[in-house]
Structure 1
Amino acid sequence: MMSKIETVQKEMIAAMKAKDTERKETLTLLLSALKAKAKDKKEALTEEEENTIILKEIKQAEESLAGAEKAARADLIDMNKKRIAVLADFAPKQMNAEEIKQVIAGVLQQLGIEKPEPKDKGSIMKNLMPLVTGKADGGLVNRMVGELMK
């Protein structure tokens, strides 16, 4: 199986040949982020580490998009939407609310908690997050666990 770095390099070359400048620029940024992390680590990245970097890049583009929308900058809005679309091609499939509920239920069962209370949240999250990291938005997971305690 190809690493994300190899996949991104291939896609970047294809974008250059197709003269798709915006896609090439986004892939260049992603590639440098992946390579920098691998260089810091001094070894190949795990799939989870690669996914974390990709999700971080998406989050940055989303934050830039929000800023561009506030400033009513159509050029930046368009650029960030395209950047998010390109990065989404490489992002791991995100879990939907139903899948997250199933994982939460499994963790509760594993911990033997029938009616979660606020004092249980720490141990629930500690066991839950490794199962959903990179596959689900942490804020959404946190809110869903919080709703169970109401």
Structure 2
Amino acid sequence: MSDLKTRITEDVKTAMRAGDKPRLSVLRMLQAELKQREVVDAVELTEAVIHAAVEKMVKQRRDSESQFRNANRTDLADKEAAEIAVLLDYLPQQLSETEVAALIDQAIAETGAAGGKDMGKVMGWIKPKAQGRTDMGKLSGLIKAKLG
């Protein structure tokens, strides 16, 4: 069993003992997602698989949060933001804006990218280094702006 899966299981127990219902709810959803991947998809739960599941859940919540904010439903948007905060605990340390900018500059230099047509080369170079450590959609936009 992966260390991260063990940590999630222990955190569920801790949240139950503490009566922290919002945190417990998010952790149970995460466990359900992991069980889905493990049983239905027949995938071994490695750190990478767990990180991918967490990233998917964070992305879904960011999308929902954005839609709720646009609809002036701050109560629901705040709930999504709180869930994101819980989930981010299970991803590697996030990159700062400065680190992301430096990584983009390095990727462009290493790949010799000269314009928008080289977007795929840059993303291919940067993805393994940034996956799970930054919002990939936002990263793509930053790269596009830099190349454009």
Do both share a fold (TM > 0.5)?
A: yes
Describe the SS at the equivalent of 1:90: coil
Larger Rg: 1
> Deviations for 1:13-44, whole angstroms, at most 9, x for unmatched residues?
11111111121111100111112112244343
Q: Which residue of 2 aligns with 1:127?
A: 125
1:138 is matched with which residue? 136
**Matched-pair contact (CA < 8 Å) for 1:118–1:149:** yes
Tell me the equivalent position of 1:60: 60
Query: For 2:19, what is the secondary structure of its paired residue?
Result: coil
| Percentage identity across paired residues of the two chains | 26
Residue type at the aligned position of 1:148: K
Asked if residue 8 in structure 1 is aligned to residue 8 in structure 2, the reply is yes
Q: Residues 15 and 23 of structure 1 are in contact (CA less than 8 Å); yes or no, is this contact kept in structure 2?
A: yes
Does the 8 Å contact 2:58/2:88 carry over to 1? yes
- Following superposition, the deviation at residue 52 of structure 1 comes to 1.7
Does 1:118 pair with 2:116? Answer: yes
Which has the larger displacement, 76-85 or 12-21? 76-85
- 1:51–1:119 CA distance, 2 compared to 1 (3 A): same
> How far has the Cα of 1:138 moved from its partner?
1.5
TM-score, normalised to structure 2, is 0.81
Unpaired stretches in structure 2, ≥5 consecutive residues: none
Q: 2: distance between equivalents of 1:109 and 1:74?
A: 42
What number of residue pairs does the alignment pair up? Answer: 148
* Alignment CA distance shift 1:74-1:117 (3 Å): closer
**Number of the residue aligned with 2:109:** 109
Structure 1 alignment gaps of length 5 or more: none
Cα distance, 1:9 vs structure 2: 0.9
Separation in structure 1 between the aligned mates of residue 75 and residue 19 of structure 2, nearest angstrom: 20
Residue pair 1:5, 1:35 contacting (<8 A) in 2 also: no
Shift of 1:3: 2.5
Cα deviation for residue 87 of structure 1 reads 1.5
Return the alpha-carbon distance in structure 2 between the equivalents of residues 100 and 76 of structure 1: 30
How many Å separate the matches in 1 of 2:131 and 2:9?
25
Q: Secondary structure at the match of 1:136?
A: coil
Runs of 4+ in 1 over 6 A off after TM superposition: none
